[in-house]
Chains A and B, each alone.
Chain A
């Protein structure tokens, strides 16, 4: 995507290009259709040329056990017993949500290391990444990971390289059941509506769309059977938002802080101007060369008096 597509940029305080009118895109993950086959995990690794370590089984189906710098998406499996004692195996594809108000971008101190495109994709520029990990601190979804090899932050790019040339993300292309679909955000919301009607007809009265307003909505959305309890799905935040602590840390306090420091310095300066230094008189041997003696021969110039 070109620089004109960048509508937000980390550690940047001036407005970004805004002339380009682009439809916002979204990836919709229908959890009720997902069978947890992990084809998306493999497709993601294939397209992005990632190869994680061959790990261990930790007593669950989740493999790798967590997102890493080389695993940008993974299935999280939850066995949930409902009140009626029936079982649900909730399988959620985890990865970057591409928030409209990205916490990572807000937290990032390196100008341009995190950008948001006009179509909604939030992308990391590893060449500008300094590896501080503030993006992790800022993210309400615990997504970015720092590579132990190069100390750069990585996460799902929503295949911004593919989307830029009109292709769908690799995970979407590969999903065998059509659980992951991609299109304009509007179209995805409509699609979700149909799915929700279907799910309600199957007894999921609380089925709904997960497009959390706390982060301004996301460009990766879920259709959930239990939209009233997102946290059932391996801890998907019920009401994600940029943590108040992060807002405080990265928000208005920053310019105020700078101002504060400047004021303290100015205070000193004006103290000097108005009050002056605290000098020990008895130590002063002879006139201070810094202070000019007033020559009685020199009179101050008064323009009202005619010159003689």
Chain B
């Protein structure tokens, strides 16, 4: 008998992967403009001008999907006292010594940090992206603001990309996570190990067992 638990609905999974795909496209097109060594990435989008044309739309779409996602997940990402303990014990986290960590709810503190970090980055990217969107919006802003926006945009994108690298690795590292976002299901063992508090919440018999 399959006793796996539903962690993500089909809609949530689609939303996540929409964000993910758009992120990859926005990141690749953005990186093409970020450093000369990566300008060849613009070829993936049909050349420099197409990269310039597509990037802001990709970014905007990413933001909108992310916003939707964020509204769904925001309530799971509130910090509590356990989170602070969890964070202080980051050595145990990276050392795979989860048993020493406090019980984790739907998301651990790292995930929460990522969530809010991504949201912040996305907001910064959105605002600065409009400011440096030359074709439609830049004429509305002063040059100093545009310069600041360009800098912040690049910085936020850098933070975002680094965060996503961590996110992707974490998904691979914590076996079963990738499957969770693909199939929507996690095993009870997975849930018990990584998100015990959440499991208790969502599974009444689990709570009884204890």
Chain A residues in the interface with B (C-beta under 8 A): 11-13, 109-111, 113, 128-134, 136-137, 142, 146, 151, 243, 245-246, 248-249, 253-255, 257-258, 260-261, 264-265, 268, 271-272, 275-283
Contact = CB atoms under 8 A, between A and B. Distances in A.
Contacts of A109: 32-34, 36, 39
Contact of A283 (B34, B39, B52, B190): B190
21 contacts: A11-B36, A11-B39, A113-B48, A130-B42, A130-B51, A132-B52, A133-B134, A134-B150, A137-B146, A137-B150, A146-B135, A151-B135, A243-B147, A249-B154, A265-B165, A278-B174, A278-B175, A280-B190, A280-B192, A280-B193, A280-B194
B17 interface: no
Contacts of A12: 36
Contacts of B37: 13, 258
Q: What's the interface size class on B, roughly?
A: 35 or more
B48 A110 contact: yes
Contact of B48 (A128, A280, A283): A128
Given A130-B48, A272-B173, A280-B189, A249 B138 contact: no
B5 to A, nearest CB: 12
B35 A255 contact: yes
Given A11-B39, A246-B147, A130 B96 contact: no
Contact of B134 (A131, A243, A280, A281): A131
B94 A275 contact: yes
Given A249-B151, A257-B154, 19 more contacts: A129-B49, A130-B42, A131-B49, A133-B132, A137-B147, A146-B134, A146-B135, A245-B144, A245-B151, A246-B147, A257-B35, A260-B162, A264-B166, A265-B169, A268-B165, A268-B173, A272-B173, A277-B173, A278-B173
